[in-house]
Structure 1
Amino acid sequence: MARKKILSGVALGAAAMLLLSGCATGGSGDSGATDGEATAGGTLKVLANGDVDRLDPQLTAYVPVNSVVRSLSRSLLNYEASNDVDERIALTGDLAEEVPVASEDGLTYEIKLREGATWDAPDGARPIVAGDVARGIERICNPHIGAALGGYFINLIEGMNEYCEGFAGVAAEPAAMKEYIESNDIAGIATPDDQTVIFTLVEPASDFTSMLSLPTANPAPIEVLDYLPDSPEYRENFVASGPYTVGSYTPDVKWEFVRNESWNADSDPLRKAYVDKIEMTMGVEGDAAMQQLQAGSADMLFDLSPSPANIQQLTAANDEKFTTMENGGIDQFMWFNTATTNNNSALQKLEVRQAIQYAIDKPAVVQVMGGEDIAAVTNGIFGPGINGYEDFSLYGDKSGKADPEKAKALLKEAGVENLTLKFPYRNVGTQPDIAQTVQASLEAAGITVELFPVPPTDYYANFMTNRENASSGEWDVALVGWSPDWVGGAARSVFQPQFTFDGTPQSYNYVDFNSDKANELADQALAAATPEEAGKLWHEVDKTVMAESPIVSIVSRKKANYHSDRVQNFQIYALAQNGDWANVWLKQ
C-alpha cells in the first residue's frame, strides 16, 4: 500500500480523467486475440502467492482482490474489460442504469438501479434494492473493521461523519452493530423507492462517481448484519450478486468460486461468465507460477507478476501472452523522515532534502527494475496516466541522472557534514537491489547509508506505519510504492492519503506532511468544470508538493501480466490491473 496496493490510498481527481497510456504487448499481436468463438465451461486456474486481504467488498483495499470482487459482487458503477485504453477507463453503469450527473450545484447525484439484479440469498434469489446500497455505505465505518478506503466517503457524504462518530461507540458485536445500522440513517443518502438512491455531498467532488466504482461502495444484503464483517462466518455465508459465489475455502491454500445460479445474465452488461469455476491456489512462488503458466497447467496470476528476468525472456521471445499497462502509480518514492532529530535534524532543512534529490541515480534504478520496457523515471507525486501528470523536474533535468557534485554543494551550503542515513528496505524480490543502487548513489555524493532489512509482511503494517519509528529516528529515508485507488480522475487518491494532514494522522503520510497551498489547489481541482482545467490544477498541486521536497519520486513501473495459452479474450479490467476473470474463456 503502500497497501494494496503496489503491493499497490485516502482522499481529491475528476471522473473519466485518467489517461492511461497503453497496454503494450511483448509481441506483435494482441493478447486479447481469440481462437474461434467464445466457449463456455471449464475451470480457470489462478495462481497466487498470498490470500485476499478481505473478501468483504466494503473492506478490501488490495488491488488484486478486485478480480475476486468483480466475479462475486456487483458495483453501482464499473468499467468494461478492454485492451483499449480509452474504453477500459470509461465509467459505466453496473447495478446503476447509467452514470449519474451532478446537480447544478455539484452536490447531488441520483442513481436509478437496474431491474433484474439479484442476491443469491439463502431463501432464494431476491432483488437488489436501494436499501441495500444505503446499508453498504453504512457498514463502511463499523467498529469491528473499518473500511480502508472509507475516508473518501465519510468526509464527503452529508451526515456520514456524524453517523460514523455514533457508530464508533457501539460494541463490536453483530447484534449491536445490526441494531445501530437498522436504527440510524446517513442524512446524505435517500432511498425514496426501491430503484432510486440519492446522494448529497458536503462539497462538490468531480471524482465522486469514480468512487462509486470501488467495492467499498457496493450494496450489502441484510444477511451480512448477522456476522462480524469479513469474519470466518461471513465468508462461510457469503451472499453473492455476481456470476460466481464461494464454493469452498481453505485459508492460505485455495479458493473455489462456482457459478451463482441466482445471477441474472440479462441484468449484467459487464460480465459474460464463460468459465464454470475459478480455482485460486495460494502459496505459489513467482518462478514456479510462470513455469506452470508456460506449461499450461495453470492459467492466470493473482498477486504475482513476471520477474525482470522473465520479462527479458518473454520480450526476446516476442511472446504475445505477455502484456504491460501503466496504472498511474509510482513504485518507488523515497520518503524523508522530517520528524527525527537524527543528524542534528538535518532532514528538516529543505536544502538537505534538495541535495538528496540531485544525488539519486534514477536511471540506474530503472535498469534494476527491468529496464525501460517496464519502468520509467518520475519526478513528481503523480505517475503517468493520472490526470495532472506532466513530465517535469524541479531538480535537475527530467532524465533523473544523478548530479553528485550539485548534491555536495547543497549539503555544504546547508552546513551539513558527515550525513548518515538509516535506510530500511524490504528483503523481497528486487527491493534489496534497488536499495543498494540508491545507497551507491547517495554514497557517491558523500552521504553514508546504513541499510537494514525489514520482512516484507512487517514493512508497512508494523514498521512504516508505526509513528514512533519516525519520531524516535528508527529510519531517515525509506522506499515505498503507491498506485491510485480507482481509474478516472484519480489524483485525489494519491494526494490526500499521503500529502495532507488535518490533525488526524493518516497511515501513509508518515511524517504528517501538509501544504495549505497544495490543499487549496486540490479543492479547486475537485470543483473544476472540465477535466482539462482539473488536470492543470493537479499539476500545480504536484509542483507545490515537490517544491517542499517531502519525497524523492524515483520510478514508475508498468503492471506486467502473463497468462497461459488456454486463456482466450484476455481483456484488462482496470481496477484489478489484470485480465477479467468474468470474461475470459478457455481453449478446449
Structure 2
Amino acid sequence: MSFSRRNFLIATGVAAASGSVLTACSSGNTSSAGKAGKQEAAQAHASTVKIGTAEDSKGPAPEVSGAKKGGKVYLLNDDDFSHLDPQRVYYAWNSLAVVVLSRSLTGYKIGDDGSMTLVGDLATDTGTMKDDGKTWTFTLKDGIKWEDGSDVTVDDVRHGFERAFANFITEGAVYAQTWLTGTQEYRKSYSGPFKGKHLKSIEISGKSITFHLSEARPDFNYVVAMQSYAPTPVKHDKKQDYDKKPFSNGPYMIKSHVTDKSMVLVRNKHWDPATDPIRNAYPDEFDFTFGIEQQTAADRLIADSGNDQYAVSWRTVPQDRVQQATAKAKDRLFEDLSSGTSVYWINQTRVTDIKVREAIIRAWPTAAIRQLQGGAHRGDYATGIMSPLVAGYESQDVWGRLKNPAGDPAAAKAVLKKAGKTGTKVVYAYMNDPVNAKVKVIVENALKAAGFDVVSKGIDSTTWYDQIGKLDNGFDIYWGGWSSDWPTGYSVFQPLFDSHNVVDQGTNYCHLKNPDVDAAIKAATAEPDQTKANAMWAALDKQVTELGAFIPDVYMKRLYIHGSKLGNVKMDPQFDGCMLYKMYVK
C-alpha cells in the first residue's frame, strides 16, 4: 500500500538532502553544529492533536485578529496540480488547493499555535463509533450546498466513496475501499456505482451515513478527513472529465483553469461560513500562475514589487536564496515543522547484531550532516520516527542524540570492541549528488573512527526508492523519509514496521521482523480508546528506536516567503504549504 504523504516527502526530502531546498545561511548555524539546540518547533507541536466535540464542529471558524475580507492573492508555482477530482487527490500538493474546494466529513481546525483539532466538517461531529470501530455513523449538517445551490446529500457522500472503486480512479487513497470490502483487491468485489449498484457496507438514511468495516478502525474518523473521501455530486459526475473542473462545496470554486498555465478560484456564494469551523476564506480570489521556476518565484517575492506584494509560493526558498531572503525579507519568511521525519534505515536482514546497530547509531554524525543540509532550517533533531505532529507524540531520547548530536565514535568503538565486532563491514548507500557526496565523507570518517570497515555506494536520486525498496538491496544503511496520511500512529508504524511489509518494494524499509512489534501494532490499531491508543503508539516509537531499526535524523522543517501585503500566512501542518483559507490581504 503506497502512502501519499510519503510520496510527497520522497520528492521534498530528496531535494532537501541534496541541498536544493535549504543550506545553512550565514546567521550562525555553524556554531550550533554539535549542539542539540532547544528543539523549539518540535516541543511546541508535541501532543497538539486532539479529537473535537460537536461544539467544536460548529461554524464559523474563529476570526483571525486583524484580518479583513476582500482582495486577490497570487500564487507563483512551477507545477500545475496533477488532479483536482477529490477521489484522485492523494498528494499533499493537490490537497493544498482541494481543501478549499471539497469539504470532507471531518477535517482539521488549525489553531493559532499550529495545534490540530479533528472536527466535523460536513458532519455534525467526528462520528459515532460502534463495535469497537467496525461501524461508524456520521450525520450531515444543515445548510451544506454545492456551488449551484443544491444540497449536499448523503447520496453524494456515498457516491464519493463508491466512485473511488472505478477503474479510472487510480491515484487516490485506498484505505476505505479495502476496509469496506475486506480485501486489497477491492475492485474484484465492487467496480463502482456507474452500473446502478451500491456497496452493501454503506447504508444511508435521512441525513446519516453508516459504514460497516471489515475490521476495527477506531481512527476511521481521521481517515475520512482525507480529500479522497470528499463527496461528489451524483448528477454532476463526469467521470474522467470531472478532474478538469470538480464541483465545489467549499468557500471557493474554479472560475477558469488552463492546464500548466493558470487557474483562478473565486468565491462560492453558496458556501455558508456558519457551517464551517475550519475555513475563514478572507480573499475574494486566488490567481495561480504555473511554470514559474522556484528560483524565479523566490526572486520576485524577495523583490516584493507590484502584484508580487500580494503573492506567495508553495515551493520552499531554494538553497541559493536563503541568505538573501533572510537579509532582505526576514519579516516575510515563515518556517515550521513539516509532517515528515528524516531517518537513516539500518537493514535488519543484514545488520543482525543489536550491538553493531548501537555502535552505528552512537557514531552517527547527525549534527555535521544537518549542517551540510541546511543547519537549523533543515529541522529539529529527531529522537524517534514519530513526528511531533502525530497524536500521542512523547519526547524520548533512547540513544542520547539530543545530548550529543555530533555522535561519539569513541563510545561506538568501545561497544564494537566489547561485542567482538571490530572491523565489521557496513555498506552505506547515498544519493549521488554534490551535497550527499560531502555527507558520505563525514559518515565514512565517523564510522571508520568507530572501527567499521565502510563501503559507500552512490545511487541516482531518481531511482532511490526503487533501489532501497528491493528486498535484497545490498545496503546496510540508507536514508529515508516518512510522513503520515493522517496524524495517528497507525499510518506511521503499520507501513514502516509491520513484518507483512517486508516484501520487494514494500514499505518496511529497515526489514524489521519482530513478533513483539507486530503484536503492539495490532493492539494499538484495535484499541477503541484513542487516548490509550496514542500512548501505545508512543511506546512503540520508543520500542522500535531501542531495536536500532533506524538512526533518528531530524523532524523536517520548511521555509517559505510571502509578499508584504499578505497577513496570517502560515503553514498547514497536514500538507506542508501555506493555508489559503487562513490568510488575508492587508
Name the TM-score class by shorter chain. 0.7 to 0.9
Q: After superposition, give the CA deviation of every residue in 1:413-453 in whole Å (9 maximum; x if it has no partner).
A: 3647362525131649x655555544443344344242424
Q: Which residue is equivalent to 1:276? A: 284
Of 310, 316, 326, which residue of structure 2 is paired with 1:305?
316
- Read off the aligned partner of 2:105 and give its amino acid letter: L
Paired residue secondary structure (1:242) = coil
Map of 1:215 onto structure 2: 227
Given the superposition, is the C-alpha separation of residues 36 and 553 from structure 1 closer, same or farther in structure 2, using an over 3 Å criterion?
closer
Q: 2:454 aligns with which of 422, 434, 448?
A: 448
Distance (whole Å) between structure 2 residues aligned to residue 76 and residue 426 of structure 1: 44
Deviates more, 1:490-499 or 1:539-548: 539-548
Q: Residues 94-133 of structure 1: matches in 2 within 5 Å?
A: 94-103=121-130, 105-120=132-147, 124-133=148-157
Deviations 1:230-263 (A, max 9, x none): xxx3322422222323344444443333444554
- Letter of the structure 2 residue corresponding to residue 459 of structure 1: W
* 1:387 and 2:391 are equivalent in the alignment: yes
Shift of residue 586, structure 1, vs aligned partner: 1.8
C-alpha separation in 2, matches of 1:532 and 1:426 = 43
Choose the corresponding residue for 2:336, options 314, 318, 325: 325
Cα drift, residue 113 of structure 1: 0.7
Q: How does 1:153-192 map to 2 (within 5 A)?
A: 153-155=176-178, 157=179, 159-162=180-183, 165=185, 167-168=187-188, 177-179=192-194, 182-187=196-201, 189-192=202-205
Secondary structure of 1:58's aligned partner = helix
Partner of 1:407: 412
Matched, 1:140 2:164: yes
The within-5 A match list for 1:426-465 is: 427=433, 434-445=439-450, 446-456=452-462, 458-460=463-465, 462-465=466-469
Which residue among 346, 359, 370 is the counterpart of 1:336?
346
Matches within 5 A, 1:45-64: 45-64=74-93
Which secondary structure state, in structure 2, belongs to the residue aligned with residue 287 of structure 1?
helix
Separation in 2, partners of 1:452, 1:306: 27
Identity score, percent = 24
Superposition deviation, residue 38 in structure 1: 0.7
**Whole-Å separation in 2 of the counterparts to 1:75 and 1:301:** 26
Deviation of 1:95 (Å): 0.9
Aligned equivalent of 2:239, options 227, 230, 243: 227
Match of 1:19 among 34, 43, 47: 47
**Unaligned 5+ runs, structure 1:** 9-16, 22-31, 171-175, 340-344
Q: Deviations over 1:57-100 (max 9, x none)?
A: 233332233221112111111123442233xx012221112222
Match of 1:149? 173
Instruction: Give 1:484 shift.
Output: 2.2
- Is 1:77 paired with 2:106? yes
Provide the C-alpha distance between the structure 2 equivalents of 1:266 and 1:51, rounded to a whole number of angstroms.
32
Q: List per-residue Cα deviations over 1:201-234 (Å, max 9, x = no partner).
A: 4454442222221112211222575433xxxx33
Gaps of 5+ in 2: 13-44, 50-61
Is the CA contact (8 Å cut-off) linking 1:333 and 1:479 kept in structure 2?
Answer: yes
| 1:493 matched to 2:495 | no
How far has the Cα of 1:322 moved from its partner?
A: 2.3
- Measure, in 1, the Cα distance between the counterparts of 2:208 and 2:372: 52
Mapped partners of 2:369, 2:236: distance in 1: 46
* Count of residues in Structure 1 that have an aligned counterpart in Structure 2: 531
Check if 1:482 corresponds to 2:490: no
| CA spacing shift, 1:51–1:433, aligned 2, 3 Å | farther
- Matched residue of 2:491: which SS? helix
Q: Please name the residue that 1:12 is paired with.
A: none
Which residue type is aligned with residue 364 of structure 1? Answer: A
Please tell me whether the aligned partners of residues 309 and 370 of structure 1 are also in contact (alpha carbons under 8 angstroms). no
* Residue of structure 2 in register with 1:352 after alignment: 356
Cα distance, 1:185 vs structure 2? 0.5
SS at match of 2:99: helix
- Which of 367, 371, 395 is equivalent to 1:363? 367
Does structure 1 conserve the Cα–Cα contact (< 8 Å) formed by 2:160 and 2:231?
A: yes
1:508–1:472 distance in 2 versus 1, CA, 3 Å: closer
- CA separation of 1:35 and 1:525: change in aligned 2, threshold 3 A: closer
Distance 1:308 1:433, change over 3 A: farther
Whichever residue aligns with residue 548 of structure 1, its letter is: L
CA distance 1:235–1:109, change in 2 (3 Å): closer
Aligned alpha-carbon RMSD (Å) = 3.6
CA distance in 2, matches of 1:404, 1:512: 26
Contact 2:313–2:560 at 8 Å: present in 1 too? no
CA 1:431–1:137 in 2, change beyond 3 Å: closer, same or farther? farther
Q: Is the 8 A contact 2:85 2:244 kept in 1?
A: no
| 2-structure distance, mates of 1:401, 1:319 | 29
User: Aligned in 2, Cα 1:329/1:37: closer, same or farther, shift over 3 Å?
Assistant: closer
Contact 2:218 2:530 in 1 (8 A): no
